Amino acid sequence: MNLRKWYRIFYRVFYRKLNPLKYAQKIGVNFTEGVTGVNLYGNIEWSTEPWIITLGKNVHITDGVKFITHDGGTLVFRDRVPDLEITKPITVGDNVYIGNNVIILPGVSIGSNVVIGAGAIVSRSIPDNSLAVGVAKRRSENWCKFHGRSNGCKFVW
């Protein structure tokens, strides 16, 4: 194995864990305000199209988070429709915390001031000022209710 191949293996396996922010920049993840205030922790999976993922400012993404920008179910129909591929962007607003092992599916837009609890599956967009927990189609507590505020409360289904 030549040196270049070893470097590629090291970069893919270890560097993305050692410096996830630089790795995200290198593979093409978009940042609305640059990387200032963006904190990435541990092993984050950016899917096969990282350039259609956009992160806002003051975003915290923890270990095991998966961004899935494509619908892999279309592979079943590749013999009939060779060019069939469905990809949708993922957008994360400002002041967002995403807990461990969250899965974010294609076409999701996460608003600003949002907390997503560990292990959640995000299949629909989340409005601003929300707290989202659990798996898809499960009612979640609202950010405003969580902080004891009554005005501007929204629920995420």
> In which order are the strands placed within the sheet that holds 103-104?
66-67, 103-104, 121-122
Query: Which of 66, 70, 88, 154 does the annotation list as catalytic?
Result: 70
Amino acid code (one letter) for 1: M
Give me the long-range contacts of 143-146 (CB less than 8 A, separation at least 24): 143/113, 143/114, 143/115, 146/115
Report d(CA 137, CA 59) in Å as an integer.
24
- Is position 70 annotated as part of the catalytic site? yes
Active site residues per annotation:
70
